[in-house]
Homo-oligomer: A and B are copies of this chain.
Amino acid sequence: MANSASGDSVVDRVVRVIEAFPEGVTSLQLTELADRAGLPLSSAHRLVRQLSEHGLLDSGAGGTVRLGLRLWELVNRNSPTLALRQAAMPFMEDIQQVLNQNVNLAVLEGWEALFVERLSRRGSVANRARVAGRMPVHISSAGLALMSHQPREVQAEYLEQFQDPSGKVTAGVVRQLLADAAQQGYAQLAGVVDSDTWGIAVPVMNGKRRTVAALGVVVPLAEMRLQALVPALQTAARGIGRRLAE
């Protein structure tokens, strides 16, 4: 019993505390937090108090802990995706207006698509993508658009480790999906995420022709107007890319 019996640094612990919140949960009891972070109660208590003093956490009465508003502020002010989102926003609004559909913007994080921005259209179909939410590469058009335009070695590594938990999809099938998407310049998935929706996405390239994001829409399965959607998305994607290059 001394400086960390478990052999982890203070930084490790701070990270574990922040990571302890399950997706969508904003508030946790101290005991549960300690539990989830794998910390002794008294250590968790001390850490939470320290972080709260700085506003990274917000500990209310009775030991309830939330992420601090100050942390939210700092992260969103200096977000690594700030430039991307600012460049994309006007074009996403255009798409939303012109095509009258849900629009979303994703980046590749690990082997998943991480959605960084979304404009949803009231009355349109459900859009499963939440901002700051993730979707596996092989079951999201955004994921496929992103992966299909990654360098050869990245794709190889991805396919190498690929494994579908449900066992329905094989690496071979995904390879084909990626090949199609690469060849066509866009990715589409009909009825996969939701049985009555259709997702389509195109890559967004920066000045150096590196694919940095995917721009996509989710439309009702009935309205398959590829001819109208793809050119609009590609035009917008190019516009975003140009802004990023500036």
Contact = CB atoms under 8 A, between A and B. Distances in A.
Interface of A: 9-12, 14-15, 18-19, 21-26, 47, 50-51, 54, 56, 58, 66-83, 90, 93, 107, 109, 114, 116, 122, 131-134
Contact of A67 (B50, B78, B90): B78
A76 B131 contact: yes
B72 A80 contact: yes
A78, A132, A134: most-surrounded residue (chain B CB, <10 A): A78
Contact of A15 (B56, B72, B132): B56
Nearest to A70: B109
A20 B162 CA distance: 39
A25, A70, A73: most-surrounded residue (chain B CB, <10 A): A73
Contacts of A15: 51, 54, 56
A182 B72 CA distance: 29
B122 A77 contact: no
Contacts of A80: 26, 58, 66-69, 72
A77 B12 contact: no
Contacts of A90: 122
A83 B26 contact: yes
B132 A72 contact: yes
Contacts of A107: 69
